[in-house]
Amino acid sequence: SSCFSRARGMDGALPRTAAVAGLTAAALTFGAPTSFALQPSLQRAVAASPRVAAKENLSAREEAQPAEGHLASAALSMSVAAALGATAAAGRRLRRTALPLGRSLTVRRAVPAQPAQPSQPLASSRAAASLSTAKSAVPRAASTVLETAMAVEYEVGQKLHGWTCERVEDVSEFKCKGYLFRHDRTGAELISMVQPADENKTFGVVFRTPPENSNGIAHVLEHSVLCGSRKYPLKEPFVELLKSSLQTFLNAMTFPDRTCYPVASCNLQDFYNLIDVYLDAVLHPRALSDPRVLAQEGWHYEIENKDDPLVYKGVVFNEMKGVYSSPDNAHSRTANQNLFPNNAYGVDSGGDPKVIPSLTFDYFKDFHGKFYHPSNAKFWFYGDDPADRRLELLDGFLSEFERIEVDSEIKPQPLFTEPKRVQGEFAIGEDEDISKKTMASISWVLAEGKVDVQTGLALSFLNYLLVGTPAAPLTKALVDSGLGSRVIGGGLYEGLLQPTFGIGLKDLKEEDVPKVEELIMKQLTELAETGFEADAVQAAINTIEFRNRECNFGSFPKGLSLMFAVVDNWNYGKDPFEPLRFEAPLAELKDRLAKGEKVFENLIREKLLDNPHRVVTESRPSKDYSKKIEAQEKEELANYRKTLDEKSIEQLIQETKTLKEIQVKPDDPSAMATVPRLELSDIPKESPKIPTEIRGSSPTTLVHEFPTSGVVYLDVAFSLEAVPEKLQPLLPLFTGSLKQLGTERGDFVSLTRRIGMSTGGISASNVCLNKRGEAKAETYLIMRGKSMAAQVPQLVDLFREIALMVNWDNKERFVQLLRQSKSGAESALLSSGHQVSARRLAAQTTRAGWLNEQWAGLSQYEFLCQLLADIEGGGWDEVAKDLRTLQSCIFNRAACVVHNITAEAENLADSQAALESLSSGLPKDASSPVLLEPQLQRFAEGIIVPTQVNYVGKGANLYASGYELHGSALVASKFLNTTYLWERVRVSGGAYGGFCQFDPRSGDFKYISYRDPNLGGTWKNYDGVPDFLKEIEVDADELTKTIIGCMGDVDSYMLPDAKGFQAMMRHLLGESDEYRQKLRDEILGTTAEDFRSFAGTLEEVTKNGGLCAVGSKEALEAAQAEFGLSLRSPLAAKS
């Protein structure tokens, strides 16, 4: 449940689903091509959904780095996906637009996305799982019957199952019908979207929960309600669901003014099970009668011996200490608190670590009683489940309540009459250079409340035109200024009551702050006078219209994307269906523009230039900030301890002991038996296959026929095996520069617009994979694109231009990209230490692991620093030569190994011909393959960064010790994530996340923790895993649940484009259907004895595993001698 800003970026981790379900299995995944272009908030039905954290965790209001393509850390299990190919696609690298400074959205998450080697997705459809009907969730899905959504029509005024239909809407944009119901007894509202064509069923309940201070009550309560309930009286029914569910989404989210509990599944019985547990959790949580839930999830005093100092512990407390360690978040909060000083948005709904310990149990209970009532609830259904059953199911829960008056209205922030200037500070390391670390931004509140649909649409277009691409004039002006390294601010956000806009720069000299404000206002003034170029406007229109036609949400359930769009209005008493109806407003806007109306120019003047509700925020680095915060906390605890007598201290010691005992004590079997689940008989025994036709060779063409609404998806894979070892670290910048330097046909602004006018987007990414049974790394540059069928020739021509015509002499632009990448890599060291640690561990064991770390880990950051110094020292000519060498090594006929086409039958032949013309026109020259032979060795290291929490990793390669892969290892890893590691590292240890990863391709096994208050204690917990697996008695029921949950990771839901892409990856890695079926059989046949056998294998990690921790100087120095750590401080100023 990390705090993050919902459309602009995320500083937090993944959903709890990921951590618990494991990241056992998901390394990096390959997302659907929906993230090619920037996702603006133009089509709010598409853009309004929060995205699960991506390749790295990005702070609120922080602008993402240039996309590396579609590699993303998955929110699923790493080992399963790596073995069988599950794709999550939830974590695509996205550029953010729309979000107010510092707005917090907390998401029930346990760990962040994982950085391990990319795993190949597995094509499957959960529709293959049986549909089981039950009139309510039941502990076992004993019977399987077919119950599907039947044609249903309701009329306004119609009463059914305690509900009255108040509105009927035909939502043609999404080919479904929507109904607004009100519950007769409680006044609860329900939007029921009937969509027989979508098997991915979604449900959500939303409560308005405006906070009055920063004690984190909404966030802590969001965690706590899922820790047992009246019907399910165990500690973690949420975790039990993850063990045994086929869910496609399972999470909870705390926004600045509301809390959401969404679920999704393609299996009807599973869907009902999830709803049943969630509804009982939010309405009847165990936490209201057990203060220890608040202590565990929120905060508590901890002391184990009378001579020990008091410390604060708690999952949310430590999570938010991690959030508050981020410089970008510090800047966001300063801006936000001053942008909204008088309403709920001026406090932190996620919780300020300094304020969280003021949260009392009485306050906790009162907040739930006030806001978690059906009279304050909004319910959502979408998909092909029976519509009448929705009403009946909900009424069964709500009928015991009576209507009450709930004052949860979100009060607007009164608009300023004059601008403000504010200053804040953030922590940096003692040995860092502070000469160019300042941040500055300007942010506006654009209106007193929700704007009308036409204004909102125009603002979204304006946002895209101003900052939506690297070529957008406001973004480009800031980058071209050379004042800072990276654009921040995030642009427009319309997801709260009042829309906001923010823009700025980071890594400034202190004296350059006024220049940033001057530049922004000057650029806006010029645009208000001259407007935007016609081709820029046309590119924006085509981009949005393409997304509307494609309606591709990747692996994120479409129904939840629509729900979040709807709630953006519904939460404030506005028309909930308005965000879904974009065709008429878009036509009206285009008509206004065609008639010559100065739509965007007028908006710039009214909403920005002439708007006095403007805050200029400057944030300065402080070497003393972390020490000051830590000293304040220690002083507060010491002062409290002075008030305690010996008896009170003994009581705290006993309470600490009792809490830890409860946390590791197994639930009563009778309570466990209440949690509904499927049976193994509900899981298809055969591994699903992706329809693939192989045509030709050199290059091979793979063809996948799917219904795609006229969209053609094209992928071209180029081998990187001829790239010299010394140029490997340059590859990420090379690939990221392909669309950013301009070409022989024009500058990068022109290229960006032509891509926007003719296609749905183009991307390029580097992929480094392990191939089972081989030591060498499989490496590819994959170019991806999508367009309507008629535009395929233009799409392929753009591929050719990007590959062969890049202007490698554009030093100025390349240095801009280099500085942006360096800044992004530095931010990742601070906020994504788990990824840094995992990559460093992988680099010790395999060539692919070593190479991935060179491309995206600490080594990449150090390379970028040195490269910038070399260029500034006169070394550009050598760099330009290296870039051309890479181009010739990669873009030639021999290196072009696969064409991949996903489209409808009538569009396949023309698409194949277009791709063949591309490859036949490539240069014939080919370089010889290069064998990478890095020196791999175990080491123990600590990486020092300014942070209040740690990221603790340990790992080894199981194949190196003789282990042979068996599918049960994936189940055992899943089991560890939902039992031992969850209980010891997160629940008892207080870390935000603790999990293991097993990559079946490489054999790497890693333990990782996230936002962890501990260090050595976590390593010792890892070493206890083999004994735990040997001693645990796993009964048949527990084993069945874990196998089902593992299969849920395997059989992830995918759209056609994702299926086509993962079929290509499977082909490149030589992973046959027979291999995947064998692993599936082994997973389904896992026994308790397999767990004990795997325990012996994991002793290799305990005895010989490498260590890597990212943390504070104090924590690492304290552990250095005991664990033999070699310490390094990558952010230290170079002498």
* Tokens of residue 188, six digits: 């609860």
What is the maximum span of the chain, computed from C-alpha positions, in angstroms? 84
- How many angstroms separate the CA atoms of 121 and 134, rounded? 32
Helices (H), strands (E): how many in the chain? 39, 32
- How many angstroms separate the CA atoms of 932 and 728, rounded? 10
- How many angstroms separate the CA atoms of 536 and 461, rounded? 11
CB-based contact 914:716 (threshold 8 Å)? no
CB environment 466-478: b (16+ within 10 A), e (fewer): bbbbbbbbbbbbb
Residue for token pair 């998806």: 713
Element (H, E) at 28: strand 28-30
- How many angstroms separate the CA atoms of 787 and 796, rounded? 10
CB-based contact 600:540 (threshold 8 Å)? no
The DSSP call for residue 103 is -
Cβ of 982: how many Cβ atoms within 10 Å?
A: 24
What is the amino acid identity at position 55? Answer: K
CB-based contact 488:329 (threshold 8 Å)? no
- How many angstroms separate the CA atoms of 887 and 890, rounded? 5
Alpha helices in 1032-1072 (DSSP H): 1036-1050, 1056-1069
Side-chain half-sphere CA neighbours of 243 within 13 A: 23
Would you please indicate which residues are annotated as catalytic (active-site) residues?
A: 222, 297
Please enumerate in sequence order all residues whose Cβ is within 8 A of that of 554, keeping only pairs 6 or more positions apart, or say none: 31, 32, 34, 35, 89, 90, 92, 1055, 1058
Report the DSSP pairing between strands 486-493 and 253-254. unpaired
Task: Compute CA 853 distance to the chain's CA centroid, rounded to the nearest angstrom.
Answer: 20
CB-based contact 423:242 (threshold 8 Å)? no
In 747-872 the beta strands, taken as DSSP E runs, fall at 761-770, 777-788
Residue 607 phi/psi, 5-degree rounding, is: -90, -20
- How many angstroms separate the CA atoms of 916 and 711, rounded? 19
Q: Which own/partner pairs from 804-807 qualify as long-range (CB within 8 Å, at least 24 positions apart)?
A: 804/887, 804/891, 804/922, 804/923, 805/743, 805/744, 805/745, 806/737, 806/738, 806/741, 806/742, 806/743, 806/887, 807/741, 807/742, 807/743, 807/744
What value does the CA radius of gyration of the chain take, rounded to a whole number of Å?
27
CB-based contact 755:746 (threshold 8 Å)? no
Beta-bridge mates of residue 378: 189, 206
CB-based contact 62:9 (threshold 8 Å)? yes
CB-based contact 33:549 (threshold 8 Å)? no
- How many angstroms separate the CA atoms of 349 and 347, rounded? 6
- How many angstroms separate the CA atoms of 772 and 775, rounded? 8
What are the Cα distances from residue 973, in Å, to 306, 573, 938?
Answer: 38, 46, 23
* Tokens of residue 134, six digits: 């039950």
